[in-house]
Amino acid sequence: MITVILAAGNGRRLGGAKAALLLGDSPIVAHHLRLAEALCCVRTIAVGRPEDCRWLGALGLEAVPSAAPDQAGSLAVAVRALGPVDADEVVLVTPVDAVPVQTSTVEALLGALGPDLDAVTPTHLGRGGHPALVRVRALVPYRAALPPPLREVLRALGPRRARVAVDDPAVTTDLDTPDEVARLTGGPPRFWSP
């Protein structure tokens, strides 16, 4: 499995670069890296702002710069960075501002990804969330000039996409604003300084 962390957001609403948001004493992107390591991923790619790629690489991530204005553009950058890989290869796609999930959550997604499926996504209490587990063959739209948002690609898969209910509230927890960070951490956003 390959992990792709979409970490190029400027965090205008948040007040700082999303990848550098501190959870405890570590930037959130480092928590995503630890999850990928726990899952024994063969590669962990972080698509980041060009000015962040040096410190992302120093953390042990395969840092790929993106100036794309949206997540779809950054995912397209990641798909190009994959190079030639088997169409059945599995990619775990997560935005950096999503709270990292439990390893058991990803294991449940992997367990549900049968040969007739191209993607599996989690739900918690009926709400969809992150990360998405997607086969490379389903990421072909990200080789186009104007790629669509991932939710549209997943929706277009129809019966080749499954939703799996998990007991992990992190799948629906995004940290886009100071209020969302305060609800999770009990304080205002703090940012790691490389």
The tens digit of pLDDT for each residue in 140-159 reads 999 888 899 999 999 999 99
In this structure, what are the phi and psi dihedrals at residue 162, rounded to the nearest 5 degrees? -115, 150
* Length of the chain (residues): 194
- Output the pLDDT for position 69: 82
The dihedrals phi and psi of 102, each to the nearest 5 degrees, come to: -75, 150
pTM above 0.85? yes
pLDDT digits (tens, 9 = 90+) for 76-111: 999 999 989 999 999 999 999 999 999 999 999 999
Kindly write down the DSSP assignment for every residue of 145-191, as one continuous string. Answer: SSPPPHHHHHHHTGGGEEEEE-S-GGGG-B--SHHHHHHHHSS---B
Instruction: Give the model's confidence band at 9: pLDDT under 50 very low, under 70 low, under 90 confident, else very high.
Output: confident
Per-residue confidence (pLDDT) for residue 144, from 0 to 100: 85
Query: What does the pLDDT average to over 20-41?
Result: 94
The string of pLDDT tens digits covering residues 110-143 is 999 999 999 999 999 999 999 999 999 999 999 8
Q: Which residue in 1, 80, 63 sits closest to 29, CA to CA?
A: 63
Q: Look at the domain 2-185 and name its fold.
A: Spore Coat Polysaccharide Biosynthesis Protein SpsA; Chain A (3.90.550)
